[in-house]
Amino acid sequence: MSKPNVKFRMAVMLAGLAVLFGLVFGYGALRGYFIAQFLKSYANQVQTVATITAAPSPWQPQLQSVGSLTAFNGAALSAEIGGIVDTIDFDSGADVKKGQLLLTLRPNNDPAVLAQLQANAQLAALTYARDQKQFAANAVSRAQLDSDRANLDAARAQVAAQQALMAEKQIRAPFSGRLGIRQVDVGQYLSPGTAIVTLEQLNPLYVDFYLPQQALAQVQVGQRVDVSVDAYPGQDFTGTISAIGASIDQATRSVAVRATITNDKLQLRPGMFASLNISVGTPAEYITLPQTAIAYNSYGDTVFLVRHGKDANGKPTLVADQVFVQLGATRGDQVQVLSGLQPGDVVVTAGQMKLRKGVLVAINNTIQPANDANPAPPNE
């Protein structure tokens, strides 16, 4: 191969490399230009957000839990012995008094047996009285008198046993309350223990719930409890803690608590699901925000603030700034801010998904996210 051909090929290769590097660096420069233009254009875009001004508000520390309402006294009434239902003396859902007759089983020959036993007891009483006089005249022995006394006691015991048997066939209300739905009919045979009707004492009521073991030092008997149920949204029922469990559940590490609430209007029913709030500690003031304002992250929770700044042309405008915050407890739609904000800071509550630090913003507070300490959503 001649030297001119080698030199020519080398020149062509060098020219090709020069063109290639020119294309690479040209593409990089062009890409950087377009990115810079895009960022400049994005920086000049104005993002609309909703805001709230941070301000202290009263905060009462509370413990929250859920539980169930339980009757102060409640029982499923039944007969102790079997028999045919003779009479039913109550209506379903009626209010009854303690001792009121509710149901009677067919007596069969019970009255006749009682009359016979009473006659035997009366005869034994006459015999004992006569022998007492005879004993005073030394006409009968002490052994005879003692035998007469034993016969009298046995006869009276048989009368009492028969009366108790007959009383078991009469079902009476063991306490005052409201009856449920009748479960038996006249003429039906009842086996011992068959449920006849439920009876519930509706005022007062218990509400049973659980609290974590960390809350044990914050609750005590007599402490106020606010109870709410879905049936009456927005209405609270006041009660007091009446008992605290003696041990901690090893599976859940929680303690059982029972509160007593008044039910004068009989609005509540046993078995209802209930939400509870217990005020603990001393009220204080904290900055609170809607929970939608918080960006929850593994590296720390943040919020966006609206501050005064300048756009790309140096004109005064509003810009977004991101700061870290330390959060505390929650209540309803709100969250407690322990640090990171100052009163007067303008915090973004909606629209922060399109923000980054330095982005231009415009404020439109026509629509605000929920920010209620005690929300009551519709029961749909």
Q: Which helix (H) or strand (E) holds 150?
A: helix 142-167
Domain(s) labelled CATH 2.40.30.170 in the chain stretch across 63-71+204-279
Residue 225's pLDDT is 94
Residue 352's pLDDT is 85
Residue 19's pLDDT is 63
C-alpha 378/C-alpha 380 separation (Å) is 6
pLDDT digit string, tens, across residues 173-231: 999 999 999 999 999 999 998 999 999 999 999 999 999 999 998 999 999 999 999 99
In the predicted model, what is the mean pLDDT of residues 35-50? 67
For 184, list phi and psi in degrees, rounded to 5: -135, 165
C-alpha 45/C-alpha 321 separation (Å) is 15
Strand order in the sheet with 83-88: 170-172, 101-105, 83-88, 189-190
Nearest to 180 by CA among 285, 66, 275, 77: 77
Q: Is the pLDDT of residue 379 over 70?
A: no
Whether 233 contacts 255, CB under 8 Å: no
Residue 67's pLDDT is 94
C-alpha 169/C-alpha 109 separation (Å) is 13
The domain over range 63-71+204-279 is classified in CATH as 2.40.30.170: yes
pLDDT digit string, tens, across residues 3-14: 556 666 676 676
Fold of 73-190: OB fold (Dihydrolipoamide Acetyltransferase, E2P) (2.40.50)
Residues 6+ apart with CB under 8 A from 255: 210, 211, 212, 213, 215, 216, 244, 245, 247, 248, 249
In the predicted model, what is the mean pLDDT of residues 231-252? 92
In the predicted model, what is the mean pLDDT of residues 309-315? 77
DSSP 18-61: HHHHHHHHHHHHHHHHHHHHHHHHHHTPEEEEEEEE--EEEE--
**pTM as predicted:** 0.65
pLDDT digit string, tens, across residues 125-166: 999 898 888 888 888 888 988 898 999 999 999 999 999 889
Q: Is the pLDDT of residue 339 over 60?
A: yes
C-alpha 21/C-alpha 292 separation (Å) is 51
Residue 70's pLDDT is 94
Domain(s) labelled CATH 2.40.420.20 in the chain stretch across 44-59+284-363
Query: For domain 44-59+284-363, which CATH number applies: 2.40.420.20, 3.90.1150.10, 3.60.20.30, 3.90.850.10?
Result: 2.40.420.20
Q: Is the pLDDT of residue 88 over 90?
A: yes
Beta bridge partners of 64: 277
In the predicted model, what is the mean pLDDT of residues 293-310? 90
